[in-house]
């Protein structure tokens, strides 16, 4: 049927005419809002709804398909909001360097409504973020926190952890030693065990819901049935998490007010920050005392940001070490050299600092699979990036997964090779090039880079030493399955743990 015959039919048939006018209107709207601002390639969005169709799919598969087609810089839509994805180190330089005008993250209006945007992770007000970041960084970097936490508490923790694991393996029954363990070595009541297990589940649910908050336009989650019900259930989940953390903080605050001894954990560090009990408060006279509400928000941020990230990172590391026995041999050699033959000898932060090969292996595992494959930045003021002048408020997605695996910068990028992170005098291949330094972004980049990077590295190093100096970990599954929803999560990595036997390596 020719265009003219369609037109003549339309002029006599009102419903068809309305349909044609509607199509012209939508195309015009579509052209105006979606294609004109720049010529970048990218998937065609659904008018007004953007990329809502990827909700329920694995967004990473969708990303990878588009990245292949589009190249180093491309765009996609969330609702009618344009997002710019940067895949190449040559365009990422400005975004990855500390830059106050690229400080903000893509905001989630729902989080704002329920008060989550006041925290460290989701907050976008520079002054309050800066204050909280300093407080958290000081608490996390405090040598007392690190030393006490690692020399004693962590070893206790791992004992409980292994008991749980072995009970499950040998009896198929669950024990709750980990849930029963707290910093004072007191046994807590059954009701609290239940609560702690619920909390773990709720944290996981929170990560599952991040993908929804990232890709569904706000008006859809507010007004479209189904979407709005799911949003409400996510909000209830976040409120439950808030209540749990709130109760922990209030209870501990009361204990400290009633004269309890200070502990070396993060909560006590935050609770005493800038109070009379704070040994460092004299150095920071102009900082106002931290409130209980702020402590709750910061504890929330740290719990959310640290548990699943470290747990999933360790699972990937176990997988890569099992697949690369030559690397494990070198790790064992380093453990024996640094810690000696006694597998029960106490270990310290100083000794962990000497584990260069273990550190390189952790970095290599973090490079191959990014726990946070994408981080977002919103510009303040016009920014020239990749040859374009972007207006204030442009949303950038730094594609950490591609930056860390770009074959232009990472030789044999698919090979697990810790040597690339070792300098020549530590037996490695070379120093990292300038571009490799920019594009190694497992902990993000710029001013908002991970506040717990050092804590995470120490935790992972400790786990490697504690496991591999005594045990062999065999994979039961050939492949590691993972899924992305705001965070890369491992699904079902079955392993068998036996006492260490180097002859099998």
**Alpha-carbon distances, residue 225 vs 75, 112, 146 (angstroms):** 29, 21, 48
User: Is residue 252 part of the contact set for ligand HEM (CB under 6 A)?
Assistant: no
Is the CB of 43 or the CB of 301 nearer to ligand HEM?
301
Work out the angle between the directed axes of helices 292-323 and 227-257 (0-180°, nearest 10): 110
Least spacing, CB of residue 445 vs ligand HEM, in Å: 5
Least spacing, CB of residue 240 vs ligand HEM, in Å: 21
User: Is residue 305 part of the contact set for ligand HEM (CB under 6 A)?
Assistant: yes
User: Is residue 445 part of the contact set for ligand HEM (CB under 6 A)?
Assistant: yes
Q: For the stretch 273-288, what's the b/e string if a residue is b when 16 or more beta carbons lie within 10 angstroms of its beta carbon?
A: bbeeebeeeeeeeeee
Is the CB of 98 or the CB of 391 nearer to ligand HEM?
98
Closest among 250, 255, 241, 263 to 115, alpha carbons compared:
241
Q: For the stretch 129-161, what's the b/e string if a residue is b when 16 or more beta carbons lie within 10 angstroms of its beta carbon?
A: bebbbebbebbbebeebbebbbeebbeebeebb
Is the CB of 375 or the CB of 394 nearer to ligand HEM?
375
User: Is residue 301 part of the contact set for ligand HEM (CB under 6 A)?
Assistant: yes
Give me the DSSP letters along 183-211: TT-PPPPHHHHHHHHHHHHHHHHHHHHHH
Least spacing, CB of residue 366 vs ligand HEM, in Å: 6
Among 313, 361, 402, 462, binds ligand HEM (CB under 6 A): 313
User: Is residue 102 part of the contact set for ligand HEM (CB under 6 A)?
Assistant: no
Least spacing, CB of residue 136 vs ligand HEM, in Å: 6
User: Is residue 372 part of the contact set for ligand HEM (CB under 6 A)?
Assistant: yes
Question: Do 101 and 85 form a contact (C-beta atoms < 8 A)?
Answer: no
User: Is residue 442 part of the contact set for ligand HEM (CB under 6 A)?
Assistant: yes
Among 92, 120, 179, 404, binds ligand HEM (CB under 6 A): 120
Least spacing, CB of residue 47 vs ligand HEM, in Å: 30
Give the whole-angstrom CA distance, residue 404 versus residue 84. 18
Sign, CA torsion 11/12/14/20: negative
Question: Do 458 and 389 form a contact (C-beta atoms < 8 A)?
Answer: no
Least spacing, CB of residue 96 vs ligand HEM, in Å: 9
User: Is residue 455 part of the contact set for ligand HEM (CB under 6 A)?
Assistant: yes
Which pairs with CB-CB distance under 8 Å and at least 24 residues apart come from 42-49? 42/66, 42/70, 42/74, 42/75, 42/76, 42/77, 42/85, 43/76, 45/76, 45/77, 48/79, 48/80, 48/217, 49/79, 49/217, 49/220
**DSSP structural state of residue 445:** -
User: Is residue 82 part of the contact set for ligand HEM (CB under 6 A)?
Assistant: no
User: Is residue 456 part of the contact set for ligand HEM (CB under 6 A)?
Assistant: yes
Q: Using CB under 6 A, which of the segments 27-35, 132-140, 271-279, 421-429 binds ligand HEM?
A: 132-140
Q: Which residues contact 385 (CB under 8 A, 6 or more apart)?
A: 84, 86, 91, 94, 95, 396
Among 216, 299, 331, 451, binds ligand HEM (CB under 6 A): 451
Least spacing, CB of residue 398 vs ligand HEM, in Å: 7
Give the whole-angstrom CA distance, residue 152 versus residue 80. 53
Least spacing, CB of residue 304 vs ligand HEM, in Å: 9
Least spacing, CB of residue 319 vs ligand HEM, in Å: 15
Among 452, 461, 462, 467, binds ligand HEM (CB under 6 A): 452
Is the CB of 120 or the CB of 178 nearer to ligand HEM?
120
User: Is residue 365 part of the contact set for ligand HEM (CB under 6 A)?
Assistant: no
Least spacing, CB of residue 444 vs ligand HEM, in Å: 2
450 labelled as ligand-binding? Answer: yes
User: Is residue 449 part of the contact set for ligand HEM (CB under 6 A)?
Assistant: yes
- Number of other CB atoms surrounding residue 409 within 10 Å: 21
Is the CB of 309 or the CB of 394 nearer to ligand HEM?
309
Q: State both tokens at 494.
A: 């079955």
Among 78, 371, 378, 490, binds ligand HEM (CB under 6 A): 371
User: Is residue 375 part of the contact set for ligand HEM (CB under 6 A)?
Assistant: yes
Coil, helix or strand at residue 443:
coil
Among 121, 212, 316, 409, binds ligand HEM (CB under 6 A): 121
Q: For the purposes of burial, counting CB atoms within 10 Å of the CB of 48, is it exposed (0-12), middle (13-18) or buried (19 or more)?
A: middle
Q: Using CB under 6 A, which of the segments 235-243, 255-263, 268-276, 446-454 binds ligand HEM?
A: 446-454
User: Is residue 134 part of the contact set for ligand HEM (CB under 6 A)?
Assistant: no
- Number of other CB atoms surrounding residue 258 within 10 Å: 7
**DSSP structural state of residue 245:** H
- Give the HSE-up count for residue 343: Cα atoms under 13 Å, Cβ half-sphere: 10
Is the CB of 42 or the CB of 442 nearer to ligand HEM?
442
Annotation: binding site: 450
Residues flagged as binding site for heme: 450
List interacting residues with ligand HEM (CB under 6 A).
120-121, 133, 136, 140, 301-302, 305-306, 309-310, 313, 371-372, 375, 442-446, 448-452, 455-456
């Amino acid at each position: 049927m020719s265009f003219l015959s369609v037109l003549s039919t339309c002029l006599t048939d009102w419903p068809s005419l309305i349909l044609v006018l509607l199509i012209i209107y939508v195309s015009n709207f579509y052209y105006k809002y979606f294609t004109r601002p720049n010529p970048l390639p990218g998937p065609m969005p659904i008018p007004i709804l953007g990329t809502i169709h990827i909700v329920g799919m694995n967004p990473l598969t969708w990303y990878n398909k588009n990245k292949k087609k589009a190249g180093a810089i491309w765009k996609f839509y969330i609702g009618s909001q344009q997002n710019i994805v940067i895949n190449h180190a040559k365009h990422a330089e400005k975004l990855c360097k500390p830059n106050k005008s690229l400080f903000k993250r893509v905001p989630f209006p729902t989080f704002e409504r329920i008060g989550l945007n006041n925290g460290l992770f989701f907050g976008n007000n520079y002054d309050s973020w800066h204050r909280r970041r300093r407080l958290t960084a000081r608490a996390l970097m405090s040598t007392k926190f690190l030393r006490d936490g690692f020399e004693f508490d962590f070893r206790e923790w791992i004992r409980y952890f292994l008991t749980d694991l072995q009970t499950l393996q040998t009896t198929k029954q669950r024990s709750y030693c980990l849930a029963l363990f707290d910093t004072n070595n007191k046994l807590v009541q059954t009701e609290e065990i239940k609560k702690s297990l619920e909390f773990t589940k709720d944290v996981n649910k929170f990560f599952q819901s991040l993908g929804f908050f990232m890709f569904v336009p706000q008006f859809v989650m507010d007004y479209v049935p189904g979407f709005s019900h799911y949003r409400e259930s996510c909000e209830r989940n976040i409120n439950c998490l808030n209540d749990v953390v709130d109760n922990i903080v209030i209870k501990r605050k009361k204990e400290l007010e009633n004269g309890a001894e200070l502990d070396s954990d993060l909560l006590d560090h935050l609770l005493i920050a800038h109070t009379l009990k704070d040994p460092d408060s004299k150095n920071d006279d102009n900082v106002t005392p931290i409130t209980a509400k702020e402590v709750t928000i910061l504890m929330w941020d740290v719990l959310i940001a640290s548990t699943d990230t470290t747990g999933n990172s360790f699972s990937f590391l176990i997988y890569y070490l099992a697949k690369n026995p030559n690397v494990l041999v070198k790790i064992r050699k380093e453990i024996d050299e640094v810690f000696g033959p006694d597998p029960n000898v106490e270990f310290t932060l100083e000794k962990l600092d000497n584990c260069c090969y273990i550190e390189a292996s952790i970095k290599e595992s973090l490079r191959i699979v990014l726990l946070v494959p994408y981080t977002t930045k919103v510009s303040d003021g016009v920014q020239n990036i990749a040859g374009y002048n972007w207006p204030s408020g442009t949303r950038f997605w730094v594609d950490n997964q591609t930056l860390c695996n770009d074959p232009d910068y990472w030789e044999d990028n698919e090979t697990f090779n810790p040597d690339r992170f070792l300098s020549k005098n530590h037996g490695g291949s070379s120093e990292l090039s300038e571009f490799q330094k920019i594009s190694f972004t497992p902990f993000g980049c710029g001013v908002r880079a991970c506040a717990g990077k050092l804590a995470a590295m120490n935790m992972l190093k400790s786990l490697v030493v504690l496991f591999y100096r005594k045990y062999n970990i065999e994979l039961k599954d050939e492949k590691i399955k993972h899924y992305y929803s705001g965070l890369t999560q491992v699904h079902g990595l079955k392993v068998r743990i036996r006492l260490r036997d180097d002859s099998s390596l």
